[in-house]
Structure 1
C-alpha cells in the first residue's frame, strides 16, 4: 500500500509541476511568427536594430529584417533563443526550388553561423536585396 501511495503522490507532483510550467509558458520553441516577434529578436541580437521591413519563415524558425539604413539581418533559432547576423561582405543569398522544404538559402559568410534555409513568399526580392548589400560593401 505504501508503494501505491508513493506512486500516486509522485504522479500528482509531476502533473502539478507540468501544469505550473504550462501556466508560466515555460519551455517550448520560440517562434518568429509576426513582424513584432522579428523586431524583438532583432533588437536582442543587436541593440538598436529597428526593422522597417521583415519577412519570417513559414515555420517561424528564421527571419530576415532590414533597418532604415538598409542593413539586413538574418535571424535563426538557436536552442530556445535566437541568433542573428547583420549581413556584410561575403554574405550571399540564392533562391531555390525545394517544394515543401525551403525557397531561399542565406549564407552570412560565417562558417560557424552556418547557412539559413527559409520559406518566404518574397524570396527572390530578399535574395536580390541581400546580394546588393553584400556586393555594395565589396567596392
Structure 2
C-alpha cells in the first residue's frame, strides 16, 4: 500500500487530486454529521402549541389565551388574559419575542399584518395570517397609543 502511494505521489497532479478527494470526503462527512445533529436550516414555528411554548419561554408566566401562527411559520402573535400581545419572530437561528404596546406600528394589507415594536433593533415583522389577519388587526386597535 505504501509503495502504491509513493508511486501515485510521483505522478504529476496526483498529490493535488488526493488532497481534493480527501477534502471532499471530509466535507461530506461533516455535512452528514450536521444534518444528524439538526444543525442549520430555517427554524419555523411548527404549530400553535410550539408558539405557546415560545411565548411562555420568552416571558415567564405569560399565560397564552389566544395565538395565531404565520402560515410559513416565521412568526406568531400570542395574547394573554390581561390583553398583552407578544410578537414572536425568527431572530437568526432562534426565536425572539417583543410585546406590542401600541397599534401605531400595525398595518393590515389583506391577509398580511405588519407589526413593529418599540425596539428598533428588533425590526418590523410581516406575518401571513390568512383570514385571521383582520381579526388580530382589529383586536390590536384596542391597545394604547
TM-score, normalised by the number of residues in structure 2: 0.78
Whether 2:92 is the aligned partner of 1:107: answer no
Residues 75 and 83 in structure 1, CA contact (< 8 A), matched pair in contact too: yes
The match for 2:81 is 68
- Give the number of equivalent residue pairs: 131
Question: Which deviates the most, 13-22 or 59-68?
Answer: 59-68
Q: In structure 1, the residue corresponding to 2:44 is in which secondary structure? A: coil
Whether 2:127 is the aligned partner of 1:118: answer yes
The match for 2:7 is none
The whole-number CA distance in structure 2 between the counterparts of 1:90 and 1:58 is: 22
RMSD of aligned alpha carbons: 2.0
The whole-number CA distance in structure 1 between the counterparts of 2:126 and 2:102 is: 19
The match for 1:12 is 25
The match for 1:2 is 15
Residues 91 and 108 in structure 1, CA contact (< 8 A), matched pair in contact too: no
Residues 85 and 100 in structure 2, CA contact (< 8 A), matched pair in contact too: yes
- Residue 47 of structure 1, CA deviation: 2.1
The match for 2:10 is none
Alignment gaps of 5+ in structure 2: 1-13
- Residue 66 of structure 1, CA deviation: 1.1
Residues 92 and 131 in structure 1, CA contact (< 8 A), matched pair in contact too: no
Whether 2:62 is the aligned partner of 1:49: answer yes
Question: Which deviates the most, 86-95 or 64-73?
Answer: 86-95
The structure with the larger Rg is 2
